[in-house]
Amino acid sequence: MKKYLSILATASPSEELPYIWLNYALAAFYIACLLAIAVLARSFVTRRRSVWFIPTTLAAMAFGLVSWLYAAYVYRIDYVAVEMDGTKASLPFWQEIAVPSLPILASMVALAVYQIRSPRT
């Protein structure tokens, strides 16, 4: 008896995107994470005001937004509402965007802590 191997190959629309877009989004995510960690640590450690804090926080949010928008775009073009032809349904939007939104949320927390802890003059 011959055994036949049945392979189900599926392709998603996001596979047609240029690979460089993924590289840019990933680099933006890494930069946003590093900047968000720096400002979050700075906001918790010291109470002194610094000149670089607000621009660095805004840069972390901007880089985080680039990776968030890429993830949202990929979700939009790859979205599958219900199971069809053995394809699993897509996760909810909030689960797909949870990781790319972490630098943005960390930057917002750092900004809030910085404003609360900074001395009033």
Q: Could you read off the pLDDT of 10-24 as tens digits, one per residue?
A: 666 777 788 899 899
Sequence-distant (≥ 6) Cβ neighbours of residue 6 within 8 angstroms: none
Q: Could you read off the pLDDT of 51-76 as tens digits, one per residue?
A: 999 999 999 999 999 999 999 998 88
Sequence-distant (≥ 6) Cβ neighbours of residue 118 within 8 angstroms: 47, 48, 49
User: Can you give the pTM of this predicted structure?
Assistant: 0.81
The vertex-73 CA angle with 68 and 78, nearest 5°, equals: 125
